[in-house]
Amino acid sequence: MKTRPPAVAGTFYPAEPAALECAVAELLAAAPAADDGAKAIIAPHAGYVYSGPTAACAYRLLETRRRRIRRVVLVGPAHRVYLQGMALPSVDAFATPLGDVAIDTDAVRQALELPGAQIVDEAHAAEHSLEVHLPFLQTVLDDFRLVPIVVGACPADEVQSVLELLWGGDETLIVASSDLSHFHSYDEARQIDAHTTTRIEARETTLRGEEACGAYVLNGLLQAACTRGLTVRTLDVRNSGDTAGDRFRVVGYGAYALN
């Protein structure tokens, strides 16, 4: 079996399994408990000390559906390589310190039939935007299969097409990975992220990279939300100045649920 090993264990989150279990459990315990049957969530992907509390607000929604959700379509932006279109992996599993997550290889084959989709293992090898979500998913869900998609420069229509193909029913969850603004002062970031949040809630599909690093991902998901009549609810918005960073150059984080 071919497995993608963890790339950011020990930097973005603890590499030791017991420490990682403890860190995720503490983050989830501090988040509000709720379950509104969200079809999709949007959550950030920075180091846990920075964005973990915001991500936990999204993942806490899933705890009562741990046996129902059997497939997760996890879509995030490319940070490490230049990419046109969408990259899927050729591996059979993604590994974290908590164990292996099996890939839904049938779904990957289906996705590869669509425009813009291709096998690019290099895009996954060092990418953190998907990996940091896996320990949360491994904690709040039981057995599930993963469809990991790294999105580069890609039209919203192509991202939407893949999501629509894999939409499924109650057994399928869509997770969109994105941070918000980058490297502004604390007060400026709060203003920018509040405006971006208003746009996300309105399901606007013209987000830019300076508003959200996963803009290509979000535009495709929000276009699908419009088509399917889903609404967007904000769960949490904060930045690194609220968690573990200074307030001179911050990164913004938001968590949202789509029903």
Q: What is the pLDDT of residue 74?
A: 99
Q: What is the pLDDT of residue 33?
A: 83
Q: Which two tokens stand for residue 56?
A: 């936990």
Q: What is the pLDDT of residue 245?
A: 87
CB neighbour list of residue 134: distance below 8 Å, 6 or more residues apart: 74, 94, 96, 98, 101, 146
Q: What is the pLDDT of residue 103?
A: 98
Q: What is the pLDDT of residue 68?
A: 96
Whole-prediction pTM value?
A: 0.97
Strands 71-77 and 172-177: parallel
Q: Which among 212, 20, 30, 19 is positioned nearest to 131, based on CA atoms?
A: 20
Residue type, 242: D
What is the rounded CA–CA span in Å between residue 42 and residue 214? 10
pLDDT digits (tens, 9 = 90+) for 136-183: 999 999 999 999 999 999 999 999 999 999 999 999 999 999 999 999
Residues of the chain with pLDDT under 70: none
Residue type, 79: H
What is the rounded CA–CA span in Å between residue 204 and residue 81? 27
What is the rounded CA–CA span in Å between residue 138 and residue 65? 13
Distances (CA, A) of 204 to 37, 64, 208, 222: 22, 30, 11, 7
Is there a contact between 150 and 91 (Cβ–Cβ < 8 Å)?
A: no
pLDDT digits (tens, 9 = 90+) for 241-251: 999 989 999 99
The phi and psi torsions of 235 (rounded to 5 degrees) equal -100, -40
Residue for token digits 């039981």?
Answer: 142
CATH number 3.90.960.10 given to 3-258: no
Q: Which two tokens stand for residue 53?
A: 């509390």
Is there a contact between 92 and 102 (Cβ–Cβ < 8 Å)?
A: yes
Is there a contact between 230 and 167 (Cβ–Cβ < 8 Å)?
A: no
Residue for token digits 């379509």?
Answer: 73
Exposure string over 110-133, b if 16+ CB within 10 A, otherwise e? ebeeeebbeebeebbeebbbbbbb
| End-to-end Cα, the chain, rounded Å | 36
Q: Can you give the residue ranges of every domain in the chain?
A: 3-258
